[in-house]
Amino acid sequence: MITTSALQVRFGDTTALHPLDLDLPAGRIYGLLGRNGAGKTTLMSTLAGFRRPSAGTVSLDGVPVFDNARATSRICLIRDDGVLGDTTDTLRDILSMAAMMRPGFDRAWAADLMDRFALPGKRWLRDLSRGQRSAFGVVVGLASRADLTMFDEAHLGMDAPGRQLFHEELLRDYLEHPRTVILSTHLIEEQSPLFEQVLILHEGRLLLREDVDELRARGVSVTGPQQVVDDFVFGLTVLGERRLGPTKQVTLFGALDEEHRQLARRYGLELGPVALQELFIHLTGGAA
């Protein structure tokens, strides 16, 4: 269990995180969402013990993480900048260091992932492309098998097959070796199938914490002839709309009551799910 108690982080006049009390039970995959500057990186680096809180505490199973090598050896944060060691270290050197620091590091799996991401161990970190650096971060983060593993937009620059491999390997290994995983991402639709729970940070505060299925149930799409749809959605909260010839699809915020569901059936309107991304945009203030 990772716990924050009145955790606060300030940078001069900027409060990146307002006092935050959070309990994250172990053995789940959390999606950490938020607009640019919401405080995601600040939260993750403080959870990892990289940053001293301005106030409050972070603890892993009751033990404070800051300045505590034992606790931080159980935590792995892969950042979006792909910095994992000195630029003149070879990938093989970095993997050896990671294996020394992390008791659960799986060298055989790391070697297999290096092959599958086509990463040559003898190359220097500085010679990798942006996407290769991210793929290497993914290898380190996965093979570390840390009790608390965090990927902060670790997929930046990775191509679609690489991201798919990352997600498949994460899920497969997580089922065999359950651990706590936090994924911060702006690729909401792509990564949300991995999430069990979603945390949304907004302007340094926790705006929402919900199981992903509950969050999805907050929205519904309505499809049918334009005029019928317009009449049906009158007075409801509309998130967006699309038209295809005479057909219109409207996405709504808020679960439909039984009366509306019956009405939809009577008029032959089709009800369907809403993309998590649309709910996220609405909850965080719209596409201003």
Residues near ligand ATP, by CB under 6 A: 11, 14, 16, 34, 36-42
Question: Toward ligand ATP, which CB reaches closer, 14 or 262?
Answer: 14
Helices (H), the chain: 40-47, 69-72, 91-101, 107-116, 130-144, 160-176, 188-191, 212-216, 226-233, 258-266, 276-283
Give the integer Cα–Cα distance in Å for 204 and 36. 11
Structure tokens belonging to residue 278: 């649309």
Question: Toward ligand ATP, which CB reaches closer, 10 or 92?
Answer: 10
> Minimal distance in Å, beta carbon 133 to ligand ATP?
17
Beta-sheet pairing, 205-211 with 180-184: unpaired
Around 110, how many Cα atoms within 13 Å sit in the side-chain half-sphere?
23
> Minimal distance in Å, beta carbon 152 to ligand ATP?
7
Give the integer Cα–Cα distance in Å for 111 and 114. 5
> Minimal distance in Å, beta carbon 40 to ligand ATP?
4
Using the 8-state DSSP alphabet, how is residue 27 labeled? Answer: S
* Residue 201, SS3 per DSSP: strand
Question: Of all helices (H) and strands (E), which one includes residue 182?
Answer: strand 180-184
> Minimal distance in Å, beta carbon 185 to ligand ATP?
9
Structure tokens belonging to residue 97: 């260091």
> Minimal distance in Å, beta carbon 21 to ligand ATP?
18
Question: Toward ligand ATP, which CB reaches closer, 102 or 163?
Answer: 163
Question: Toward ligand ATP, which CB reaches closer, 121 or 131?
Answer: 131
> Minimal distance in Å, beta carbon 117 to ligand ATP?
24
Give the integer Cα–Cα distance in Å for 231 and 247. 14
Question: Toward ligand ATP, which CB reaches closer, 43 or 135?
Answer: 43
Question: Toward ligand ATP, which CB reaches closer, 203 or 241?
Answer: 203
